[in-house]
Amino acid sequence: MAKTKVKFACTECGTESPRWMGKCPGCQAWNTMVEFKETVSKTKGVGLAGIHTKETPTSIIHIESGKEPRIETAMQELNRVLGGGVVPGSLILVGGDPGIGKSTLLLQTSHALAIKDLKVLYISGEESIRQTKLRADRLGALSEHLFVLCETNMEHINDAIDNMNPDFLVIDSIQTVYDPGVESAPGSVAQVRECTANFMRVAKQKGIATVLVGHVTKEGAIAGPRLLEHMVDCVLYFEGERHHSYRLLRAVKNRFGSTNEIGIFEMGEEGLREVSNPSELFLSERSLGVSGSTVVASMEGTRPVLVELQALVSPTHFPSPRRMSTGIDHHRMSLIIAVLEKRIGMFLQTQDAYLNVAGGVKLDEPAVDLAAAVCIASSFKDAPTKPDDVIFGEVGLTGEVRGVARAEQRVKEAAKLGFKRVIMPEKSLKGWTPPADIKVIGVSTVSEALRAALE
């Protein structure tokens, strides 16, 4: 006889407890413990969805190593984020805000694989097959090898997978699928965990590349237990403003590739279109000859991206000035302002300072420090920078400018887009020759960079 246990789990981190608690002991969140029932039998365990293997330990030197085979899609931006393509047997989790374009991206990807004579099964638990067909007509995603199923019952889904044996499987979304053997509502902690474990078993045993669509909370994290992200091989976030046309695909976990790459798409009437040159997109609305604006060369994985930085420094009548930043870490901005005050002598204690990365991009590398310092100083002095300048470099607490990685790729990207000067760390000039059509100025301190940029 199966035995039913009542447990409580945190919806934020998945921590389990035999009794209810007002505060989660794992993530310290309040009022996140919810009740769920767990059925345990002697023939089937909980959490592994029937995975039973019996193997003997093997010496690591006797294990054959080889490169993982990949299925390349027609979207090069998606291939870049995944590390070269979709790995057969991998389990991928895609999250994003409602209406951002997750279903559109996966339907276009399914069509791109179906036209390569791969069998694709698209299972939708939120739309009917007619609604999916209307979306496919609009996107032009019509192929004989693309099959659509509207189902939420796990047992029926397993039967469809066994009968069809697809090469690529999409579940839209994991929160709508339920297991009849689990006594809880669809989308609960127990259901999401058990259904994800089932798809993990199917992906690994049958070698089917599986993509799960996950809902997100109001904080932007994927809804459900934190265990969900640990079970999958790859976690992708589809980001962007709903009122803007561009979208960013970012990997926060990838067992088969790097997590530094981003893919950039533009939403149009016929679906998502790849943006091969993101620098032109982010600089298309840039204002010239205005103080507090400069261009920084940032690296997103292996690709250099030129983005506009904007700063606004204005007097305040309050005893505590405001420091706000968008797209750059707030603490990094405070550090740069402290360096300008101590090493350069700028009196910013009575000034509100606002720093923004135009286009909604998030920059988290230290190479943007020098551009941020020049941008803030330009707004404070009301002295515009030259519109043909690109600035990058790391700023230390003593006011020195430190070298950064991949300076050659940054300079070549600036030269390709028609910029005339690059202000960069002097230490990063060694070992390569700059292009002939661009002037490179090496600086070792912040004061030298300010003289070169604001002269």
Of 444, 417, 418, the C-alpha closest to 429 is 444
- Helix ranges (DSSP H) in 382-439: 407-416
- Per the structure, the complete domain to which residue 23 belongs is given by 3-40
Q: Tell whether 81 and 168 lie within a shared domain.
A: yes
Residue 150 falls inside a structural domain:
yes
Question: Looking at the domain assignment, is residue 56 inside a domain?
Answer: no
Shared domain for 287 and 253, answered yes or no, is: no
Phi, psi of 309 (to 5 degrees): -105, 135
Looking at the chain, the whole-number percentage of residues with pLDDT higher than 70 is 92
pLDDT in tens, 266-277: 888 888 999 888
Residue 374 and residue 445: Cα distance in Å, rounded?
A: 12
Query: Residues 229, 310: one domain?
Result: no
H/E stretch holding 193: helix 189-206
Residue 446 has pLDDT above 70, yes or no: yes
Give residue 47's pLDDT: 44
Binding-site residues from annotation: 96-103
Tell me the pTM: 0.77
Same domain, residue pair 387 and 327: yes
Q: Number of folded domains in the chain?
A: 3
Q: Is 147 inside a domain boundary?
A: yes
Q: Is the domain of 332 the same as that of 235? A: no
Cα 117 from chain centroid (whole Å): 30
The yes-or-no verdict on residue 391 having pLDDT over 60 is: yes
54 assigned to some structural domain:
no
Residue 148 lies in a domain: yes
Q: State the DSSP H helix or E strand holding residue 55, giving kind and residue range, or none if neither.
A: none
The reported pLDDT for the residue numbered 287 is: 85
pLDDT by residue (tens digit) across 310-349?
Answer: 999 999 988 899 999 999 999 999 999 999 999 999 999 9
Residue 233 and residue 322 in one domain: no
What is the three-class DSSP state of 248? strand
Whether 411 is in a domain gets the answer yes
Tell whether 29 and 107 lie within a shared domain: no
Annotated binding residues for ATP, written as ranges, equal 96-103
Are 200 and 249 found together in one domain?
yes
103 and 217 inside one domain: yes
What CATH number does residue 309 fall under? 3.30.230.10
Cα–Cα distance, 266 to 105 (Å, whole number): 11
Run of H or E including 159:
helix 154-164
- pLDDT over 90 at 354, yes or no: yes
C-alpha closest to that of 98 among 207, 189, 223, 269: 223
Residue 9 lies in a domain: yes
Name the average pLDDT for the chain. Answer: 88
Digit-coded pLDDT (tens) for 259-308 = 888 888 988 888 899 988 888 878 888 888 899 999 999 998 788 999 99
Q: Which of 276, 305, 324 is the last residue of a domain?
A: 276
Does residue 324 sit within a domain?
yes
pLDDT band at 50 (very low <50, low <70, confident <90, very high): very low
Domain final residue pick, 260, 276, 292: 276
Q: Are residues 321 and 437 in the same domain?
A: yes
100-126 burial code (b ≥16 CB/10 A, e <16):
bbbbbbbbbbbbbbbbeebbbbbbbbe
Same domain, 145 and 239: yes
Q: How far apart are CA 425 and CA 443, in angstroms?
A: 5
Average pLDDT estimate for 197-224: 86
pLDDT band at 240 (very low <50, low <70, confident <90, very high): confident
Show Cβ contacts of residue 235 under 8 Å, excluding neighbours closer than 6 positions.
Answer: 92, 93, 95, 222, 229, 251, 252, 253, 254
Listed residues 276, 306, 322: the one ending a domain: 276
Do residues 256 and 337 both lie within one domain?
no
CATH number of residue 131's parent domain: 3.40.50.300
